[in-house]
Amino acid sequence: MTLNPRHNNFYTHECRSIGVPLRVSTLLGLLLAFLITPSSQAQCQYEAILLEGPLCSGGNPAGITPQGLDANGNTVGSSSCFFNFFASMVRADGTASWLTPPPNSGESKGIAILDPDHVVGRAVPTGAPIGIAAIWEFGQGRFLNMLPNTDAGVASGMNSSGQIVGLNYDSIFGPRQAVLWEGDQPIALDLPVERNGNSSANDINEQGQITGWMGGAPSTDSQAFIWDNGVVLDLGAIPGGTTAEGMAINNLGHVTGRGHIPDGVTEFGSKHAFFWDGQTMIRLPELPDTVESLPNDINDADQIVGQSLVDDGVFAKYFTLWQDGQVYNLDDLIVTNLSNVTNSNAYAINNDGQILVHAGSESYLLNPIDSPPGDTDNNCVVDVDDLLCVLTEWGNTISIADVDDDGIVDVLDLLQVLADWG
């Protein structure tokens, strides 16, 4: 599928309130006779495709713990046959393979994927207690060079220019340092943090803009940032909170992440999701009874995916989608029956709207099913709001209510809304 252009503004999608034209007032009366209670079934839906890892020695496929998703639906993560986990890939056609570990290494994990030939992540050198940043090119892994006086780290993002981001640190003394790799050369990002402060670079977009966190620690006094060719924009802390950590940045320079907000229960407060639209940081809406909301990724349509920790009598973790100012439990949008959705997470989303998730002990790629044209406000249900949207926009030539894209809001758009009702 292609991106629905009506999803491109996260909080500005609305009908103009211009009143119902007189020439349709009698038609409105007739239409009200046909109205029924709108269905609560969401119209923005997904089909779940089971992801199976590479084969183990007995011929059975290994499970895969997913992490990264590219533009074409190829995924990376880690798989295990006998307790140890190694970097693995599942291509869009369903074929799975191990990624060859760097020489003299043990366990490994793929974290971000540009395409099947370019993956970054982490691998543990033989005899070492902790992993360092690694890259896989055409399936063969190697370690990335490290900053001086560091022995641990991870590569967490990359772009098509070959830039890689992550962090390096001394596993005993610290501090954590946000890193940009240009080729094989690691460069510590120059960030306005206090002496002996910490930082991490979590993601990079195609323009080379980087987001992450800087400060003492993510849980105590961190601030989200955008690094852009040496210029640093301090995004501060989440509104009403004490910290912020940028988790992902899209090609518009928009950021999603999380920050701690005092809750009167835990020492550092609870973590909640935010969205930076290029000018303002806002808290994202949450599912009922949410304790924490944890976003992981954002695409160029400002669709955000992650996880919600919900206490509705039974503490559960649900994979979550944020779009057009709304929040959804993805289980409500999936037409495929999944075995366990009370322990789930959404790790990544691409610009085709595909979502990489883990639910229970299984992983899936969610392929979107377009919402019907009559869903003018993109809230995943066609109801009276969409009807009123068409009526208030009646006769306009440039409007979101022109659902059939014929250049004018007219009776054909009205009939489309009725056809898609519920």
Residue 380 has pLDDT above 80, yes or no: no
Residue 81 has pLDDT above 50, yes or no: yes
pLDDT of 14:
55
CA distance 320 to 329: 5
3-state secondary structure labels for all residues of the chain: CCCCHHHCCCCCCCCCCCCCCHHHHHHHHHHHCCCCCCCCCCCCEEEEEEECCCECCCCCECEEEEEEECCCCCEEEEEECCCCEEEEEECCCCCEEECECCCCEEEEEEEEEEECCEEEEEEEECCCCCCEEEEEECCEEEECCCCCCCCEEEEEEECCCCEEEEEEECCCCCCCEEEEEECCEEEECCCCCCCCCEEEEEEECCCCCEEEEEECCCCCCCEEEEEECCEEEEEECCCCCCCCEEEEECCCCCEEEEEEECCCCCCCCEEEEEEECCCCEEECCCCCCEEEEEEEEECCCCCEEEEEEEECCCEEEEEEEEECCEEEEHHHCECCCCCCCCEEEEEEECCCCCEEEEECCEEEEEEEECCCCCCCCCCCCCCHHHHHHHHHCCCCCCCCCCCCCCCCCCHHHHHHHHHCCC
pLDDT of 13:
42
Do residues 298 and 349 touch, judged by C-beta distance below 8 A?
yes
Question: For 275-319, how does the pLDDT look when each residue is reduced to its tens digit (9 = 90+)?
Answer: 999 999 999 999 999 999 999 999 999 999 999 999 988 899 999
Residue 43 has pLDDT above 80, yes or no: no
Average pLDDT over residues 181-191: 94
pLDDT of 195:
57
What mean pLDDT is reported for the chain?
Answer: 89
For the ranges 37-51, 106-120, 259-273, 388-402, the lowest mean pLDDT is seen at 37-51
Domains in the chain, CATH or no CATH each: 15-41+376-419 (no CATH), 45-369 (2.120.10.30)
Average pLDDT over residues 110-136: 97
